[in-house]
Amino acid sequence: MRRLAVFVVAAAAWVGPAGAAGPPALQGEAIILANGATGEVLYERNAGERHPIASITKLMTAIVTLDRARPGETVTVGSFAPSVGESSIELRRGERVSVRDLLAAALIQSANDAAYALAGHAGPGGVGGFVRLMNEEARRMGLAETHFVRPDGLDTPGHLSSARDVLKLARAAMRRPLVRELVRREAARIAGGRSLFSWNDLLGDYDGLIGVKTGHTEEAGWCEVAAARRNGVVVYAVILGSPSRARRNADLAELMDWGFDQYVRMPVVDADRVYATAEVPFADDRLQLVPVREARAVVRVGRELTERVVAPAVVDLPVRKGQELGEVRVLEGRRIVATRPLVAARDVAEPSFADRAGWYAGQTLAEAGDMLGEVFGAAL
């Protein structure tokens, strides 16, 4: 059985000048910024407080709808949906529209009548049953500060969430391919000759924006959860209760810029470095183990990285150059940011009988020399 040697080495932290600055000054009642891949919170303020979230609600409406209806299904618009008011696509009672088109209207143009039409179609027993499902899903997702009263998000007593819950909701919604497709659109056309236009001003204006949802009512103020991707990093930012549309947009852009500055893409495994050596039987030199190739990763500025190297203490012969013999892992805390196999840097042949005999003879002479040195040294 091959003996393994495990080495754990703490590497130096990587610190950049951009990461040293604090978050920008922001307006809004509740704010949170997080890494979209890991969920790590980069900044938060009042993130657990309950607030109205306006049309951000429609992200949950989309999730519940997609759990209970296929995008190609046809919805017959009921009597209540056309009368909801405010943002609307002017649905008519009895009109037949696909689930997909209604989702597009709800997520792109934030149409309240579309949200009610979906709820009436997908909810057991109508809109009330749909809202019950929204709250059941919220509990399942761990949205502890969230309670829904209606599927569109218009101001209603008890219809509340938090910035932290909105972050979780948006990340869950963005796992749905159709939601991802719709929330990044600035405009669309649906059945009935209707043209949709997004309320999300950052689309097409903020580099890397991929969604997700705006909201505004008198009680909620100006709200948005935004997500953007740059250089392999995805950040999510939530602002609830901003005093104006322009202030919300500017603060979200500045907050996400700051979030991206907290990361750097850098080499974490060096292809030219010897990460370990292993003993070679019947030889006095050691076999160098090197990575198969370089690894680069996105890491948090200022975080310490740890290397974990697993390699054989002694290799079994013969060994081919490039043969995989170990592994190096680079970790940021418990998260593995990169891993590469370690391979032999050269060939090592199986020694012949003469080679083995010669090596043993050399070892015997060396040991004898050491003994003689100790004897004469003691005599002196």
Number of domains in the chain: 3
Each residue of 20-60: pLDDT tens digit? 578 999 999 999 999 999 999 999 999 999 999 999 999 99
Pair 110, 191 in one domain: yes
The pLDDT assigned to 283 comes to: 85
**pTM, whole model, 2 decimals?**
0.85
Residue 251 lies in a domain: no
Tell me: do 145 and 204 sit in the same domain. yes
Q: Is residue 166 scored above 80 in pLDDT?
A: yes
260 is a domain residue:
no
pLDDT value of position 1: 40
Residues 283 and 316 in one domain: yes
What domain range is 166 assigned to? 28-242
Confidence of residue 19 (pLDDT cuts 50, 70, 90): very low
Give the pLDDT of residue 197.
97
> What is the band of 6 on the pLDDT scale with cuts at 50, 70, 90?
low
Same domain, 231 and 321: no
Residue 10 scores a pLDDT above 90: no
Summary mean pLDDT of the chain: 90
Q: Is residue 20 part of a domain?
A: no
Q: Are residues 198 and 333 in the same domain?
A: no
Query: Does position 4 have pLDDT exceeding 90, yes or no?
Result: no
Please check the confidence at residue 350 and state whether its pLDDT lies above 90: no
Query: 192 and 87 share a domain?
Result: yes
3-state secondary structure the chain: CCCEEEEEEECCCCCCHHHHCCCCCCCCCEEEEEECCCCCEEEEECCCCCECCHHHHHHHHHHHHHHHCCCCCEEECCCCHHHCCCCCCCCCCCCEEEHHHHHHHHHHCCCHHHHHHHHHHHCCCCHHHHHHHHHHHHHHCCCCCCECCCCCCCCCCCCEECHHHHHHHHHHHCCCHHHHHHHCCCEEEEHHHEEEECCCCCCCCCCCEEEEEEEEECCCEEEEEEEEEECCEEEEEEEEEECCHHHHHHHHHHHHHHHHHCEEEEEEECCCCCCEEEECCCCCCEEEEEECCCEEEEEECCCCCEEEEEEECECCCCECCCCEEEEEEEEECCEEEEEEEEEECCCECCCCHHHHHHHHHHHHHHHHHHHHHHHHHHHC
Q: Is the pLDDT of residue 336 over 60?
A: yes
Give the model's confidence band at 86: pLDDT under 50 very low, under 70 low, under 90 confident, else very high: confident
Count CB-CB contacts under 10 A for residue 207.
13
Query: According to the model, what pLDDT value does residue 113 have?
Result: 95
Residue 80 resides in a domain = yes
How does residue 357 score in pLDDT terms, banded at 50, 70 and 90? low
Instruction: Assess whether 101 and 169 both reside in one domain.
Output: yes
12 pLDDT band (50/70/90 cuts)? very low
Q: Are residues 89 and 192 in the same domain?
A: yes
Q: Is the pLDDT of residue 198 over 90?
A: yes
Same domain membership, residue 159 and residue 141: yes
Instruction: List the CATH number of the domain containing 289.
Output: 2.60.410.10
Residues 306, 202 within the same domain = no
224, 334: one domain: no
219 in the same domain as 275: no
pLDDT-based confidence at residue 363 (cuts at 50, 70, 90) = low
The answer on pLDDT for 370 being more than 80 is no
pLDDT tens digits, one per residue of 128-152: 999 999 999 999 999 999 999 999 9
Flag whether 84 is in a domain: yes
> Would you place residue 160 in the very low, low, confident or very high pLDDT band (cuts 50, 70, 90)?
very high
CATH of the domain at 176: 3.40.710.10
Residue 48's pLDDT is what?
98
- pLDDT beyond 50 at 371: no
Contacts of 26 (CB under 8 A, 6+ apart): 45, 239, 251, 254, 255
Flag whether 254 is in a domain: no
Domain presence at residue 104: yes
With respect to residue 127, please indicate whether it lies within any of the assigned structural domains.
Answer: yes
Q: What is the mean pLDDT of residues 71-95?
A: 88
| Domain-terminating residue out of 242, 259, 291 | 242
What confidence tens digit (pLDDT) does each residue in 256-314 have? 999 999 999 999 999 999 999 999 988 888 999 999 999 999 999 988 999 999 999 99
